[in-house]
Amino acid sequence: MNNGRRLFHPSCILLSGLLLLSWGCVHRIHVTPAPPAVSPVAVGHSLQVIVPFLALEGADHRAGITLLDWPAQDLQAAAIDYIQLHQSFARVDDKPADLVLTIKAWLTMRSRDNYRYRLRLESALGPAEKPPMKSYLVEKDAVGSSVRWVTASDQAPIEEIVQAALDDLLSQIEADYLLYQNRPR
Flag whether 6 is in a domain: no
Domain that holds residue 45: 27-181
Task: Tell me the whole-structure pTM to 2 decimals.
Answer: 0.80
What CATH number should be reported for the domain holding residue 42? 3.40.50.10610
The pLDDT mean for the chain works out to: 82
Flag whether 2 is in a domain: no
What integer is the mean pLDDT of 116-139?
A: 95
Flag whether 4 is in a domain: no
Flag whether 92 is in a domain: yes
Flag whether 47 is in a domain: yes
Flag whether 15 is in a domain: no
Long-range contacts of 161-164 (CB under 8 A, 24+ apart): 161/117, 161/118, 161/119, 162/31, 162/33, 162/75, 162/78, 162/119, 163/33, 163/34, 164/140
Domain count for the chain, please give it. 1
100-112: pLDDT as tens digits? 999 999 998 888 7
Flag whether 97 is in a domain: yes
Flag whether 10 is in a domain: no
Q: DSSP class of residue 130?
A: S
What's the one-letter identity of residue 129? E
What integer is the mean pLDDT of 159-172?
A: 96
9-60: pLDDT as tens digits? 555 444 444 433 344 577 778 888 888 888 888 888 999 999 999 998 876 5
Separation CA 129–CA 98 (nearest Å): 9
